[in-house]
Amino acid sequence: MSGKLTSARTIVVKIGSSTLVDAATGALAREWLSAFAADVARVKARGQDVVLVSSGAIALGRRTMKLSAGALKLEEAQAAAAVGQIALARAWSEALAAHGLTVAQVLLTLGDTEARRRYLNARSTLKTLLALGAVPVINENDTVATAEIRFGDNDRLAARVTGMIEADCLVLLSDIDGLYSANPRHDPSARFIPEVAAISPEIDAMAGAAGSDMGSGGMATKIMAARIATEAGANMVIANGALRPPLQAIEGGAKCTWFLAAATPAAARKRWISGALKPSGQITIDAGAAAALAQGKSLLPAGVVSVEGLFERGDCVVVKDSTGREVARGLIAYSAEDARRIARVKSGEIEAILGYRGRTEMIHRDDMALVRT
């Protein structure tokens, strides 16, 4: 089982607040950090890319700002994060510099992993950083992330990042060593689950109780993360961050729970298109185009009957047949305005109408997920 870590090309590691910040004092766990930095350097030296998603900004900042114990108001948490993020980034930068590694700070919001254009920017920045040999350290951009548009927990942020950069392994380091059939703190009959091949309703039911006081992610958010990561084609493991050092311990077969990748990367990308993106428009196609789509072909402008909504090139749109039934979702190659102008038009005439040579397809088949009937 440990082979899933050693054979991965790109490993995303999420470090929870409870691992990085001492619960009693609110201080950074420096010893842990330097042991983990050595662990990361070892994995990098083997040729694997590593991306870190680190919590701890709020936990560090609340101490500096002397905010009271207990739950913070959203704006207090955001203020604490703004203060703590500086210390957090610096700690990572220093710890990894000791091994000759350069750290890049990347702050993301939920929208950055959803909206196609921002998604593409974040994805290419991260890929470029990896190609240059840097170690991206990601956190949520807490300052701008209000209640409705925030992840609120870095488990799901890490899972989205995993899908975004097509990483094949996600490690969630927390204060629990994996998934149990019930909360082991309250139920002595709780069974440890070492491997989850598919996230069944039974697995969801096990995720009932939260495990930590400091971070915001309980087991339920970890299962949500597992669903995102495994559907994106990555294996995910939940392990105890207190293992010294954690990646080496996981490789050595330490107690942990593995969730197995559910898809190939190509299938995963289609699921991402159909599931994670908010459609910003809809197009209606004729019967000929609907038949072509069902055979796995691309959607050409000639088959488009009407276009609704406001969207840009690269956005996700819903594709409906003439009866109004949703047949697919896909990333459209034209803005709403241009799509309207070339609806019903043969691909050869696009350039004459738009004044530029766009794509032959309105939605390429690689960018389209069919609705299964």
Give me the residues paired with residue 192 across strands. 180
Residue 58 sits in the site that holds ligand GLU (CB under 6 A): yes
Task: Pick out residues in 201-220 that bind ligand GLU (CB under 6 A).
Answer: 215-217
Task: Classify strands 257-259 and 195-196 as parallel, antiparallel or unpaired.
Answer: parallel
Residue 153 sits in the site that holds ligand GLU (CB under 6 A): yes
∠ Cα 63 64 67 (to 5°):
55
Task: Pick out residues in 236-295 that bind ligand GLU (CB under 6 A).
Answer: none
Residue 56 sits in the site that holds ligand GLU (CB under 6 A): yes
Residue 112 sits in the site that holds ligand GLU (CB under 6 A): no
Q: Which of 39, 49, 112, 142 binds ligand GLU (CB under 6 A)?
A: 142
Residue 140 sits in the site that holds ligand GLU (CB under 6 A): yes
Q: How far is the CB of 8 from ligand GLU (least distance, A)?
A: 22
Q: How far is the CB of 230 from ligand GLU (least distance, A)?
A: 19
Q: Which of 139, 162, 235, 298 binds ligand GLU (CB under 6 A)?
A: 139
Q: How far apart are CA 113 and CA 108, in angstroms?
A: 8
- Considering beta carbons, is residue 174 or 274 the nearer one to ligand GLU? 174
- Considering beta carbons, is residue 151 or 272 the nearer one to ligand GLU? 151
Residues 307 and 319: beta-carbon distance below 8 Å: no
Helix, strand, coil content of the chain in percent (nearest 5): 40, 20, 40
- Considering beta carbons, is residue 107 or 317 the nearer one to ligand GLU? 107
Q: Which of 29, 59, 115, 339 binds ligand GLU (CB under 6 A)?
A: 59
Exposure string for 280-318, b = 16+ CB within 10 A, e = fewer: bbbbbbeeebbebbeeeebbbbbbbeebeeebbbbbbbb
- Considering beta carbons, is residue 93 or 216 the nearer one to ligand GLU? 216
- Considering beta carbons, is residue 83 or 316 the nearer one to ligand GLU? 83
- Considering beta carbons, is residue 153 or 367 the nearer one to ligand GLU? 153
Interface map 3-32 toward ligand GLU (x if CB under 6 A): --------------x---------------
Q: How far is the CB of 173 from ligand GLU (least distance, A)?
A: 12
- Considering beta carbons, is residue 218 or 281 the nearer one to ligand GLU? 218
Locate all alpha helices (DSSP H) within 132-200, ordered by sequence. 154-164
Residue 55 sits in the site that holds ligand GLU (CB under 6 A): yes
Three-class DSSP category at 316: strand
Q: How many Cβ atoms are within 10 Å of 250's Cβ, its own excluded?
A: 25
How many residues are listed for the chain in this entry?
373
Q: What separation, in Å, do the N-terminal and C-terminal C-alpha atoms of the chain show?
A: 36
Give me the residues paired with residue 107 across strands. 139
Burial class (CB in 10 A: 0-12, 13-18, 19+), 98: exposed
- Considering beta carbons, is residue 11 or 77 the nearer one to ligand GLU? 77
Residue 79 sits in the site that holds ligand GLU (CB under 6 A): no
Q: How far apart are CA 190 and CA 185, in angstroms?
A: 9
Residue 57 sits in the site that holds ligand GLU (CB under 6 A): yes
Residues in contact with ligand GLU by CB under 6 A are 17, 55-59, 81, 139-140, 142, 153-154, 215-217
